[in-house]
Amino acid sequence: MPDQSLPKARTPETGPGKHEAAPAHEGISRRRLLGTAGATGLVLGTAGAAVGYTSAPSEAAAPLTSLGTDRAMFHGKHQPGITDGLQARGHLVAFDLAPGAGRKEAAALLRRWSETARRLMAGEPSTHGDTDVARDAGPASLTITFGFGHSFFARTGLEKQRPTALDPLPEFSSDHLDRNRSNGDLWVQIGANDALVAFHALRAIHKDTGRAAKVRWQMNGFNRSPGATSHPMTARNLMGQVDGTRNPKPDEADFDQRIFVPEKPQQGEPAWMANGSYAVVRRIRMLLDDWEQLSVKAQEAVIGRRKSDGAALSGGNETTPMDLEKTDAQGNLVVPINAHARITRPDQNGGAAMLRRPFSFHDGIDADGVPDAGLLFICWQADPLRGFVPVQRKLDRGDALSQFIRHESSGLFAVPGGAAEGEYVGQKLLEG
């Protein structure tokens, strides 16, 4: 879990235009707060937004709170779900094409999926047989993202269009991979700030699949809900650590260069991947019972940062640059040589950088009474051989955190650029 900062959740007041809030005077088609008998009112959030509940059907519906009205755009230069702020709920699903299904069936499937994603992200019902699960909600920052696995190209006869950057990841010493929960022909990432909106999208995407593909694996995750803290802050993981302090920021000059394939791809990169990115997906189980036996001081030594506020052990606040040479009175490095935050620094890895955008997960208690919990690690980069791989190799060689985590599944997916108006995701590949 490289120590790089996650994009902070954006609000209508602070976001740089990634989300669009519906004007207060406009209704959102079919997604209105329905009157409920017997209730008088409810005040939500620090902003004091009131949502009225009444038995009088003639009264105008109250506007949705900002949580419901926040909207990400489907069409654009890049697919949604990459630079958008962390969402409260997420679903990751991998599909394998059905026997006999090929390029034609894949194109039809991506066309259906793209139209469904466009509608749901706009707060509209799906085209066919909408389940009404999210009937009363707004878009809630819903994003749906699509990617292609290594095996997809052989299944569709498009081997010559497979990017070299999609070559299988090398094996790592921390891997304990379940092959049945790894890889896949197609990958879908769903995120939203409302659990029902996220589930509704998951159900619609699954129904759209029909006989063209079958689910290979599914994973469900969560993050802190926007507005749950008194001020925006970097997320915490299930170890209680501030997680993601050094993430690349969209306003940095080299952000696009690090995260996205150029508009004019370089040699070895197919043209259809222009403005796309590569997602590495890892299910990382946290051995929480072992971790929680450590003192806070010992946990901080493993990470290299204070647990309370995420500041480096060398001093300052969360964003103060880490002093790798600082020693204590005994001459010991203040930030241990094997501390996770030290090892994962881009300047310690030839500038390797990735945009981390994970979800936490908890899938119950296993037969040994141990929580099956951890991180659905998702990182984005222009080239995984220059982003994820060098950092993970270095972690393999001596990260203090490695004894408290276990990598249980893995996938690498090529995520093409965003679809223009009237197009579907992957159209340049499937019809080029």
Say if strands 359-365 and 89-97 run parallel, antiparallel, or are unpaired: unpaired
How far is residue 401 CA from its own chain's centroid?
22
Q: Is 166 left (phi over 0), alpha (psi -120 to 50) or beta?
A: alpha
CA distance 294 to 296: 6
**Contact in structure between 379 and 242 (CB atoms under 8 Å):** no
CA distance 403 to 65: 43
Q: Which of 32, 68, 18 is nearest to 226 (CA)?
A: 68
**Active-site residue, 194 included:** no
Indicate which residue of 96, 243, 256, 399 is catalytic: 243
Tell me the two tokens of residue 289.
Answer: 């019972």
CA distance 271 to 432: 10
Please list, in sequence order, all residues whose beta carbon lies within 8 angstroms of the beta carbon of residue 200, skipping any fewer than 6 positions away: 120, 131, 133, 134
Q: Which of 285, 402, 428, 248 is nearest to 339 (CA)?
A: 402
**Contact in structure between 355 and 380 (CB atoms under 8 Å):** yes
Q: Where are the alpha helices (DSSP H) in 339-385?
A: 340-343
Active site residues: 243
